[in-house]
Amino acid sequence: MGTSGINWPEVIKTLGIVTLALLAAAVATGYFMPKNRKLLFKWHRIIGFTALVLAVTHAVIVIVIFGI
């Protein structure tokens, strides 16, 4: 875990929860897209890209810290 003072399990857990919430939001905006396509597609892309970045960050931290 190191002596950096960062509580890595808490960081990993938080990133995972936020990523799942963003994925759910991306699915919801995709589902409701036919009602307001122009606005929702913009947000769908932003939320999806943010979820992807957080998921990769989450995976890299898990691999580096725990060696999985």
Q: Which two tokens stand for residue 33?
A: 């897209």
Do the domain assignments include residue 53?
yes
Whether the predicted pLDDT of 1 surpasses 70: no
Do the domain assignments include residue 13?
yes
Do the domain assignments include residue 28?
yes
What radius of gyration do the chain's Cα atoms show? 15
Number of independent structural domains in the chain: 1
* pLDDT band of 9, cuts 50, 70, 90: very high
Helices 37-66 and 8-31: angle between axes, nearest 10 degrees: 160
* pLDDT band of 39, cuts 50, 70, 90: confident
Which pLDDT value is given to residue 2? Answer: 54
Strands (E), the chain: none
What's the domain range around 51? 8-66
pTM of the model: 0.82
